[in-house]
Amino acid sequence: MMKAIMANRYEGISLTRGDSLTLVTSQDKMLDRLVESMTDRFQDTSVGVLCSTKLVSFTNWPESGDAAAGYFMFCITDFGDTELETLVDHFKPVLETSGIHVERIPDQWTVLKVLMYQEPQSLQKMSWFRVNRSHQHSCPDILALVDLVLSFPASTAECESGFNTMKQVKTDWRSNLKSDMLSDLLMVQLSSPEIREYDPIKAVMLWHQDSVRSRRSDFMDHAKRVTAVE
């Protein structure tokens, strides 16, 4: 009897068996709400900043052989202007802080499109590394915006990994760590090579040379002797 009562309750809430119609209705409501939540969550894929980032993918650029010359020039003249405006408005504070001339970006965008379509290589095989190397002097500000967009992480996995590492470093026993020390420890944890590949000699020499107090002058020789004996 006790097992039957426990089976009909979950976390203190009574569970009742409904008919098939009620079950189907509940499923439909759940799926509708799930679709609404996903639509709200990923709405930037069709509008907004995230949608405008498609500008940096050459697969979205119109091919030069798609239409007649006059119509094609008309297409590339307006191509990407709306997306560029969205990106510039969104990242304007960051760009200006970095010394980028935001007001020059629209004109440089037009120049860059003309230069890109003069390239003998197909845009589908083009890379932004090559574009930066070829047109950095003529279009520096628009290419800085492109670099910023290309730096977007594909997912938040690395950020989540960083937070997990921070929890391991800043435990209850080390809750008084200052920000600078915590940042240095996280840098060691996240950016250092594997222990099997790590060569500590440079770190040991830095520790020995930059110390405020004097170190043993023969500590390296002693370490070599110990290693030779082993």
Place of tokens 């068996």: 17
- Domain range summary for the chain, segments of one domain joined by +: 2-44, 49-150, 158-229
- Are 158 and 64 in contact by the 8 Å Cβ rule? The answer is no
- Across the range 15-40, mean pLDDT stands at 79
Q: pTM of whole model > 0.85?
A: no
**What share of the chain in percent tops pLDDT 90?**
20
For residue 64, what pLDDT is reported?
A: 67
- Give, to the nearest 10 degrees, the angle between helix 128-135 and helix 105-117: 110
Point out the least confidently predicted range of 60-64, 72-76, 173-177: 72-76
d(C-alpha 220, C-alpha 222), whole Å? 5
Query: Which is more confidently placed, 8 or 88?
Result: 88
pLDDT of residue 1: 41
Question: Which class for 54: exposed (0-12), middle (13-18), buried (19 or more C-beta within 10 A)?
Answer: middle
The single-letter code of the amino acid at 188 is V
Q: CA–CA separation, 144 vs 129, rounded Å?
A: 12
Closest CA to 112 of 132, 127, 129, 96: 132
User: For all residues of the chain together, what is the average pLDDT?
Assistant: 79
Q: In the chain, pLDDT over 70 holds for what percent of residues?
A: 77
Confidence of residue 219 (pLDDT cuts 50, 70, 90): low
One-letter amino acid for residue 65 of the chain = G
